[in-house]
Amino acid sequence: MSKTLVIYFSHEGENYNVGTVEVGNTELLAKEIVAKTSADEFKIVPENNYPGTYQETIEVASAEQKSSARPKYIGDVDITNYDTIFFGYPIWWEDLPMVVYSFIEKHNFSGKVVMPFNTHEGSGNAGTNETLKSLMPGAILKGDGFNMTGSIARTEEGIKKINNWLDGLREFIV
Ligand SMILES: Cc1cc2nc3c(=O)[nH]c(=O)nc-3n(C[C@H](O)[C@H](O)[C@H](O)COP(=O)(O)O)c2cc1C
C-alpha cells in the first residue's frame, strides 16, 4: 500500500475561462500526480454538490463563505496510514472552498509532509498556503504552495509544469 495520498476537491461543470468540463482543472493535476507517484487518492465530494452553472456556483460559494459554512462531504479517508499528502483545491473567493475546511477540520495532519497545490484564475495561491499552515498544526508543508492558472492546467504546458514541481519533491514521495 502506498504511503502517499492525494486529497483534492475540484468542481466539474461550467467554470471560468474553460467552458463546461467533465473533469475539473484541479482534478486534472491530481490525476497526473496519482499517475506519476502511484499514490492513493481521495476526492472530496460535497453531499450537496455545487450547481452546474458558473454563476450559480459563485453565488452558493459566496453565501457559504459569508456564513463560514462547513458543507458535508461523501465518505472519508483515514489519513493516519499516510506519511505524505498532496492536497489540491481551487481558489474560491480568495480562499479555500468551505468544503475543504470541512475536511481539514476533521483530520489531524500533524507530522505529515503536506504538499498543497491549487488552481486559480489570477489569485495565485491567495495566501492559502499560510492558511493551511495554521489549519494543520504540526504538518510539514513542502512545495511552496504550488499554483497554476486553471485553464493552463488543461494544456500540455500545465502538465509539464506539474511534473517539474513533482520532480523537485521526489525525496518526500514514499
Ligand atoms: C466559486 C468560485 C470562486 C472563484 N474565486 C476565484 C478567486 O477568488 N480567484 C481566482 O483566481 N479564481 C477564482 N475562481 C476560479 C477558479 O479558482 C479556477 O477556475 C479553478 O481552476 C477551478 O478549479 P476546478 O476546476 O478544479 O474547480 C473561482 C471559481 C469559482 C467556481
- Give 14-31 pLDDT, tens digit per residue: 999 999 999 999 999 999
Buried b (16+ CB within 10 A) or exposed e, 129-164: bebbeebbeebebbbebbbbbbbbbbeeebbebbee
The confidence score (pLDDT) of residue 1 equals 74
Atom of ligand 1 nearest to the CA of 91: 17
Strands 146-149 and 113-120 come out as: parallel
Residue pair 118/127 in contact (Cβ under 8 Å)? The answer is no
Side-chain-facing half-sphere of 70: CA atoms under 13 Å:
6
Q: pLDDT tens digits, residue range 139-171?
A: 999 999 999 999 999 999 999 999 999 999 999
Given ligand 1 and candidates 18, 27, 91, which is best to mutate, with the most ligand atoms within 8 Å of its CB? 91
Distance, CA of 77 to CA of 87 (rounded, Å): 13
Q: Encode pLDDT of 94-137 as tens digits.
A: 999 999 999 999 999 999 999 999 999 999 999 999 999 999 99
Domain ranges of the chain: 4-172
Ligand 1 centre to CA of 54 (Å) is: 10
Residue range 4-172, CATH number = 3.40.50.360
pTM of whole model > 0.85? yes
Q: What is the pLDDT of residue 151?
A: 97
Q: Is 26 in the pocket of ligand 1 (CB under 6 A)?
A: yes
Note whether 10 and 43 are within 8 A (CB). yes
Rounded to whole angstroms, how far apart are CA atoms 61 and 163? 30
Q: Please report the atom of ligand 1 found closest to the CA of residue 8.
A: 26
Task: Give the model's pLDDT for residue 17.
Answer: 92
Residue 74 pLDDT? 98
Average pLDDT over every residue of 74-96: 97
